Amino acid sequence: MPTRKPTPDGVARPRLTVMRDVAKLAGVSHQTVSRVLNNHPNVREETRARVLDAMRSLNYRRNLAARTLVTRQSDTLGIIGFETTLFGPASMLHGIESAARDAGYMVSIASVRDLDRRQVLEAVDRLTQHSVDGVIAIAPKQSVTHALAQAPPSLQCVAVGGAGESDAAPTVSIDNALGARLATQHLLDLGHATVHHAAGPPDWPESAERIEGWRRTLYAAGAVVPPVEHGWWDAESGYEQGHALARDPSVTAVFCSNDRIALGVLRALHEAGKRVPDDVSVVGFDDMPDSGFFVPPLTTVHQDFGELGRRSLALLLEHMTHTPAAELPPPNHVLVSPQLVVRASSGPARPDCTRT
Amino acid sequence: MPTRKPTPDGVARPRLTVMRDVAKLAGVSHQTVSRVLNNHPNVREETRARVLDAMRSLNYRRNLAARTLVTRQSDTLGIIGFETTLFGPASMLHGIESAARDAGYMVSIASVRDLDRRQVLEAVDRLTQHSVDGVIAIAPKQSVTHALAQAPPSLQCVAVGGAGESDAAPTVSIDNALGARLATQHLLDLGHATVHHAAGPPDWPESAERIEGWRRTLYAAGAVVPPVEHGWWDAESGYEQGHALARDPSVTAVFCSNDRIALGVLRALHEAGKRVPDDVSVVGFDDMPDSGFFVPPLTTVHQDFGELGRRSLALLLEHMTHTPAAELPPPNHVLVSPQLVVRASSGPARPDCTRT
DNA sequence: TGCGCGCCTGTGAACGTTAACACGTAGACG
DNA sequence: CGTCTACGTGTTAACGTTCACAGGCGCGCA
């Protein structure tokens, strides 16, 4: 009697308990079970209790595939990831996931190896087939945001962690310009004549915005704007840029586009015999977990990746539930403010180098 | 005619194209479309082409929810994660995800805040409701593996990255004992009388296994086994342990349970005026992305987290497709070998400290 | 010629859920 | 006392796919 179908090959699939079983045990119809499950108001309290009991005693689990089939929503969100192995993206992913769980959503990930339009659209496609209700792209480059704009309009997308201010999709990002300004101004305030910059890759908006913020701050202070070298986001790149900087005696302060670059710069300066912060001050960006234990502990701009993730989820949810009829539409761009964390790698300029 | 249902409220859902539409356009039955989609052999070449054309011109996407409902498999794998913000777990996650994609699977994540049995089982439950075909747990502690054993037997689970050799579930892990031996022996070979150890948390198998490997190696070499201090996995903990080690003049070599601890130890030694490697040699574990740019560049034990992820996926797939009838069952435990990477933080012992 | 056996295709019935509608009862209100 | 509405519940029909089975057609072989 438990198996309804004799399955000709003899290997019976382990018939799982469904609504009808619960209904039979509770002495109601399957629809009532459904109502209990979906917290429909019109169910007598006593009936509800009986159904709940039956569910418990049968260890019933609702089949979400069936539910998705008919409701066309899966309570699942998709995440498009890139380089999720790095601290920043990994933290955002985690922030999104944990906020999603609290909101009752499951999270599926689809990473891409490169950020070109084709791969991003492919990822969107994979997620669509799994009928996700919305998508968050951890999208450091603008190509992603543009690709997102080509997604089917029925699918809400949000980009997090790259450039702000794109009209292609709602975005959540750090105020990179502000961060750069905090770092640069901090060094100027310490009396440095100017601040050099060890930049990240030129085609990443995060890098570009930090350069712009740094440049503007110097300009506003009437300081010379030194030329910029570009590199990748890692310590090796910082090491190379650091060598060049160490050779130039006029360099007394360096703002690095992230903490890993700063680590490389610190090592290059150390090898060149320059003391930090006595000879040269160094400031990073990100506040990675252990940057407080570099030699010396790194002054840096803290960004809260987890918060970024949570905010992007909140924004996505707002856009998903927003109906044209509602009064005020959710914002299209959210900017999160970073904070300066002063530690030991930045200090006052030597008297002979102070700007006039 | 496109909308079949006039939807009384006037808001017509955007009827999406389904198999029947494709079938009609191609002049076949929906079942034939299904066959084409599933690469069934018995379809005439010309028919297949016609169906494919129709699918393209209608921009057809198969509805996976419906497919899951009837086949009871979702082509989705579940991942239970913990602290996925750290480099190791993040890399494993990425390794799993990218291998899963190549194998045609989607990946859903369910992280837990703590590793107790209840939360892990809750995560399994969430994944089960979304009818995942299998589960990989990034499971550094044994409680996870035990919890996994309580999952419904129809659900294949694999644990990765913690202790090897648990009978509760198949596991994939690094040979921590071997790694510890490589590090310790390397230092002994450099002439150090003995090797001190800055350990991780005592209740993590990874930490315990490294201690054991280190202890065994010292014992085999007839060296004194110094007492162990425990800490957490971060640089702060290494910094604290490093202070104590710096005070003890007999310390000439330190093996750290991971690179972050090593970073803290390096800073503590630096502040105490000890030179590395001239006065004290330091070896880490993990080979994090930038450990080659610490001051000095860190000698460490490299573990390939991505490989760990890929192997765990492969093992899961083997266990999932394995039928009792098949000749040899897949292995229950896979051990991946780490490798020693010698850089500048380890060097020969000072003559007066060489062991006799 | 007749029979069997491959190939290719179509028809109907699942899968487990929610949506739409219908029905019966009880209280409110004219 | 009739009608209207709200509530609680059951019945039936989707949702879009795959599975099981039934044919038709062509070919080889007795």
Sole residue written with tokens 């098949």: B326
One DSSP character per residue, A288-328 reads: -TTGGGSSSPPEEEE--HHHHHHHHHHHHHHHHH--TTSSS
d(CA A283, CA A292): 12
Band of pLDDT at residue A223, cut at 50, 70 and 90: very high
CA/C1' separation A6–D26 (Å): 35
Give the per-residue pLDDT at B115.
86
- Helix, strand, coil percent content, chain A, rounded in steps of 5: 45, 15, 40
Q: Residues 6 or more apart from B259 whose CB is under 8 A from it?
A: B284, B285, B286, B287, B288, B291, B298, B300
Can you give the pLDDT at residue A159? 93
Confidence of residue B219 (pLDDT cuts 50, 70, 90): very high
Report the pLDDT value the prediction gives residue A184, as an integer from 0 to 100.
98
Q: Which DSSP state fits A349?
A: P
- Of B282, B228, B225, residue with least CA distance to B258: B282
When pLDDT is averaged across residues A81-90 and rounded to a whole number, the result is 88
**C-beta neighbour count of B329 within 10 angstroms:** 11
Q: Per DSSP, what are the bridge partners of residue A255?
A: A197, A283
Domains, chain A, in order of start with CATH, read 19-62 (1.10.260.40), 75-169+306-336 (3.40.50.2300), 176-303+340-353 (3.40.50.2300)
Distance from CA of B24 to the nearest CA of A (A): 22
Chain D positions with a protein C-beta closer than 7 Å: 7-12, 14-21
Identity of the residue numbered B306: G
Mapping DSSP onto H, E and C, the string for A178-194 reads: HHHHHHHHHHHHCCECC
Q: Do A66 and B64 touch (CB under 8 A)?
A: no
Using CB atoms, pick whichever of A81, A264, A290 lies closest to residue B260.
A290
pLDDT one-digit tens code per residue, A180-216: 999 999 999 999 999 999 999 998 899 999 999 999 9
Using an 8 Å Cβ cutoff, are B250 and B216 in contact? no
Q: How far apart are CA A214 and CA B90, in angstroms?
A: 32
Of A285 and A83, more confident: A285
Q: Which letter, b or e, does each residue of B77-106 get, where b requires 16 or more Cβ atoms within 10 Å of its Cβ?
A: bbbbbbbbbbbbbbbbbbbbbbbbbeeebb
Supply B341's token pair. Answer: 């990477």
CA neighbours closer than 13 Å in the CB half-sphere of residue B156:
21
Record: contact A289-B235, CB cut-off 8 A: yes
B8 is near strand C: CB distance < 7 Å: yes
What is the pLDDT at residue B352?
62
Reading phi first (left if > 0) and then psi (alpha if -120 to 50, else beta), residue B205 is in alpha
Is residue A333 classed as helix, strand or coil in its secondary structure? strand
Nearest to A293 among B130, B267, B297 (CB): B267
Confirm if B140 and B158 have CB atoms less than 8 A apart: no
Residue with tokens 């574990």: B285
pLDDT score of B114 = 87
State the Cα–Cα distance between residues A302 and A308, nearest whole angstrom: 12
pLDDT at B5: 35
Contacts for B315-319: CB closer than 8 Å, 24+ residues apart: B315/B158, B315/B170, B315/B172, B316/B77, B316/B134, B316/B135, B316/B136, B316/B156, B316/B157, B316/B158, B316/B170, B317/B103, B317/B134, B319/B134, B319/B156, B319/B158, B319/B170
C-alpha distance from B354 to closest chain A C-alpha (Å): 29
**Contacts B263 to A, Cβ<8 Å:** 290, 293-294
Q: Residue B167 corresponds to which amino acid?
A: D
A138 vs A147: CA distance, rounded Å: 13
Q: Which of B85, B102, B274 to mutate to test the interface with A (most CBs of A within 10 A)?
A: B85
Give tens-digit pLDDT for A240-264: 999 999 999 999 999 999 999 999 9
- The separation, in Å, between residue A321 CA and nucleotide C17 C1' comes to 23
| Cβ distance of A263 and B110 shorter than 8 Å | no
Q: Give the nearest partner residue to B295 out of A69, A109, A267, using CB atoms.
A: A267
Residue type at B317 in one-letter notation:
L
Q: pLDDT tens-digit profile of B47-83?
A: 999 999 999 999 999 999 999 999 999 999 999 998 8
Indicate yes or no: strand C within 7 A of the C-beta of A20: yes
Closest CB to A129: pick one of B62, B113, B125: B62
Q: Is the pLDDT of residue B141 over 50?
A: yes
Length of chain A: 356
8 A C-beta contact, residue B74 and residue B131: yes
Q: Given an 8 Å threshold on Cβ–Cβ distance, is A65 in contact with B62? A: no
* Nucleic strand D near CB of residue B15 (< 7 Å): yes
In Å, how far from its chain's centre is CA B15? 41
B31: the nucleotide nearest its CA (via C1') is: C10
A73: Cβ under 7 Å from strand D?
no
Per-residue model confidence (pLDDT) at position B76: 96
Percentage of the residues of chain B whose pLDDT score is greater than 70? 93
- Tokens (6 digits) for B234: 């971060």
Q: Residue A354: is its pLDDT beyond 60?
A: no
DSSP, residue by residue, B173-230: EE-HHHHHHHHHHHHHHTTBS--EEE---TT-HHHHHHHHHHHHHHHHTT------B-
Q: What is the pLDDT of residue A5?
A: 35
Average pLDDT of the residues in A126-130:
92
Distance CA A258, CA A276 (A): 17
What DSSP string runs through A70-118? HHS--SEEEEEESSTTSHHHHHHHHHHHHHHHHTT-EEEEEE-SS--HH
The whole-number pLDDT of residue A352 equals 62
Cβ-Cβ contacts under 8 Å, A306 against chain B: 85
Say yes or no to pLDDT of A6 above 90: no
Of the candidates B212, B205, B340, the one whose C-alpha atom is nearest the C-alpha of residue B286 is B340
Cα dihedral B284, B289, B294, B296 sign: positive
Strands B76-81 and A253-256, sheet pairing: unpaired
CB pairs under 8 A between A and B: 147
User: Between the CA atoms of A210, A214, A219 and A224, what dihedral angle is there, to the nearest 10 degrees?
Assistant: -130
Contacts B131 to A, Cβ<8 Å: 63-65
The pLDDT value given to residue B162: 77
For residue B90, give how far its alpha carbon lies from the nearest alpha carbon of chain A (Å).
5
Residue among A65, A86, A292 minimizing CB distance to B68 = A65
Write down the pLDDT at residue A169: 87
Laid out side by side, the sheet with A339-341 consists of A196-198, A253-256, A281-286, A299-302, A339-341
Q: Indicate the residue type of B204.
A: W
- Judge: B106–A126 Cβ closer than 8 Å, yes or no: yes
Would you say A144 and A111 are in contact if contact means Cβ atoms under 8 Å apart? no
What pLDDT is stored for residue B150 in this prediction? 85
pLDDT of residue A115: 86
Give the other-Cβ count within 10 Å of A335's Cβ. Answer: 16
Query: How far apart, in whole angstroms, are the C-alpha atoms of residue B265 and residue B269?
Result: 6
Helix (H) or strand (E) holding B301: strand B299-302
User: What is the separation of C-alpha B242 from the centre of its chain, rounded to a whole number of angstroms?
Assistant: 29
